[in-house]
């Protein structure tokens, strides 16, 4: 497929370097708080990429996504809460996994935590390699990466020294660094902070080292095929990951870099430090379904900022409902016989869909294909030109689309647990059917209103009554 590579700033052909296995790493969450819907935009887009590579392009995937469970904030917040670090971060890992499941994210093959001993040892091992290669210096017991020893530093972010020095904001410099852009690999032990000693002195890892070390430990020889994350990670995080991995191994770190743009709220990015955040549970509490949020995420290209508003979530709910209504309508098609025209139209849509997805993950374009097919097939059903075998072919196509996009499966799962038990709904529908047959419309309307008050809509048609959530 074609994929934009931040390294080259161009769309390039993507395929694994060897064989059929895509080795990808994506930066996960720093687990000092619950992830917000901006974070999950990134994770959802990466999930869509993963699924496209897997189901559409036919590659095998080995994806590693980390949890940063030690840094200034996790330490500070756990202390504030009076809970041991590990126990504190456990909570937000659990919350992350819950929200991921709610949004239908596929589970990466590995989700390492920075503070697991094997990972810490991988980090200190890498730091020792960097020391041996002359890329480091020590100061007050901390180990720093000296960027002047790496000529290619800055290639990813295209930032030069001049630009940074002219900037209004210069590093506050909590630690004594020789150059403002040097960064810490290992922070010397501080009183009251968790400390490990695996060969580079007592202390804890700097933020960037974990990703370089865990990526290579869990994915094997560099270069890996793909590294992904939010745009804000381009600098300094990913730039520093490259410096560490390449300084240690002397080889390129990752062939492709993929970055997802921000989700904005009120004209500015949603971020914990700005305090303008909503979480997945917040969205659910407002009565929206996760499937709608997933749809909203995928309705905008991943390299464009997404302006989040409740109105756009409403629109996503409605759009997804149209899709679900169409799929439900397919189930009412019972006429025998298949039609070549339908098969041809469906095949065309499948091709177009795959083309859009393979073109730098153009999910918005792919959605357009789905709706065009919906309209064409609705018209064909109206004209009596769709038989049950055709319906099966159409269903199959949507199953294929959804293996990549995922919101239909998600909505079906949500529908399986409506606010009113399914047995109750079906019993009331049956009572209403009898009332209607006896032309007792007052009773029929009462039953309909009763269900609607509980969030269930009824839809009458010649083939019976269907229900759905409001």
Partner RNA sequence: GGCGCCGUCGCCAAGUGGUAAGGCAGAGGUCUGCAAAACCUCCAUCCCCGGUUCAAAUCCGGGCGGCGCCUCCA
Comparing CB distances to RNA, the nearer of 90 and 359 is 359
CB of 19 to RNA, least distance (A): 28
Shortest Å distance, C-beta 303 to RNA: 7
Name the residue nearer to RNA (CB basis): 59 or 92. 92
Question: How many alpha carbons lie under 13 Å from residue 343 in its C-beta half-sphere?
Answer: 7
Q: Of all helices (H) and strands (E), which one includes residue 257?
A: strand 254-260
User: HSE-up of 62 (CA within 13 Å, CB side)?
Assistant: 14
Environment class of residue 36 by beta-carbon count within 10 Å: exposed (0-12), middle (13-18) or buried (19+)?
A: buried
Distance between CA 133 and CA 130 in Å, rounded?
5
Of 384, 399, 300, the C-alpha closest to 346 is 399
DSSP string for 286-312: TT--HHHHHHHHHTS-TTS-EEE-HHH
Residue number with CB closer to RNA (43 or 196): 43
In the complex, least distance from residue 367 CB atom to RNA, rounded to whole angstroms: 6
Inter-residue contact 227 to 241 (CB < 8 Å): yes
Give the single-character DSSP code of 56.
I
Query: Nearest approach, Cβ of 14 to RNA (angstroms)?
Result: 16
Least distance (Å) between residue 86 CB and RNA: 19
Whichever of 221 and 450 has its CB closer to RNA, that residue is 450
Cβ closer to RNA: 42 or 89? Answer: 42
What b/e string do you get for 280-311 counting C-beta neighbours within 10 Å, with b at 16 or more? Answer: beebeeeebbbbbbbbbbbbbbbbeebebeee
Nearer CB in complex with RNA: 137/175: 175
Least Cα distance to 215 among 230, 201, 226, 231 occurs for 226
For RNA, the closer CB: 21 or 368: 368
Q: Considering the complex, what minimum distance in angstroms separates the CB of residue 376 from RNA? A: 7
Report, in Å, the least distance between residue 228 CB and RNA: 8
């Amino acid at each position: 497929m074609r994929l934009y590579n931040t390294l080259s700033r161009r769309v390039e052909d993507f395929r694994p370097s060897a064989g059929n296995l895509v080795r990808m790493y994506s930066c996960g969450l720093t687990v000092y708080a619950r992830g917000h819907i901006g974070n999950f935009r990134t994770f959802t887009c990466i999930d869509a990429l993963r699924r496209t590579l897997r189901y559409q392009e036919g590659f095998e995937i080995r994806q590693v996504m980390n949890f940063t469970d030690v840094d200034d904030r996790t330490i500070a917040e756990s202390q504030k809460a009076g809970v041991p670090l590990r126990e504190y971060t456990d909570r937000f890992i659990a919350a992350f996994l819950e929200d991921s499941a709610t949004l239908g994210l596929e589970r990466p093959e590995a989700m390492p935590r920075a503070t697991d001993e094997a990972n810490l040892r991988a980090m200190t091992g890498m730091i020792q390699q960097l020391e041996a290669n002359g890329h480091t210096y020590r100061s007050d017991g901390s180990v720093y990466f000296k960027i002047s020893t790496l000529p290619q530093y800055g290639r990813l972010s295209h930032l030069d020294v001049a630009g940074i020095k002219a900037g209004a904001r210069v590093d506050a410099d909590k630690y004594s660094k020789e150059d403002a852009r040097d960064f810490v690999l290992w922070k010397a032990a501080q009183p009251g902070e968790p400390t490990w000693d695996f060969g580079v002195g007592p202390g804890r890892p700097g933020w960037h080292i974990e990703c370089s070390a865990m990526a290579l430990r869990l994915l094997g020889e560099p270069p890996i095929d793909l590294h992904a994350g939010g745009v804000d990670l381009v600098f300094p995080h990913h730039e520093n990951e490259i410096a560490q991995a390449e300084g240690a191994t002397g080889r390129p770190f990752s062939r492709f870099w993929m970055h997802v743009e921000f989700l904005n709220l009120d004209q500015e990015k949603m971020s914990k430090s700005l305090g303008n955040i909503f979480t997945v549970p917040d969205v659910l509490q407002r009565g929206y379904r996760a499937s709608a949020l997933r749809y909203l995420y995928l309705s905008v290209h991943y390299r464009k900022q997404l302006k989040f508003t409740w109105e756009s979530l409403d629109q996503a709910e409605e759009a997804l409902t149209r899709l679900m209504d169409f799929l439900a309508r397919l189930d009412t098609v019972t006429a025998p016989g298949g039609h070549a025209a339908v098969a041809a139209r469906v095949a065309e849509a499948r091709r177009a869909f795959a083309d859009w997805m393979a073109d730098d993950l153009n999910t918005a374009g792919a959605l357009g294909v789905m709706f065009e097919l919906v309209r064409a097939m609705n018209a064909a059903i109206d004209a009596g030109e769709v038989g049950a075998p055709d319906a099966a072919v159409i269903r199959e196509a949507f199953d294929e689309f959804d293996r990549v996009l995922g919101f239909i499966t998600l909505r079906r799962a949500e529908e399986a647990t409506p606010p009113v038990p399914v047995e109750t709904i079906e019993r009331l529908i049956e009572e209403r059917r009898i009332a209607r047959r006896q032309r007792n419309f007052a009773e029929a309307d009462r039953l309909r209103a009763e269900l609607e008050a509980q969030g269930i809509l009824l839809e009458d048609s010649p083939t019976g009554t269907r229900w759905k959530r409001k």
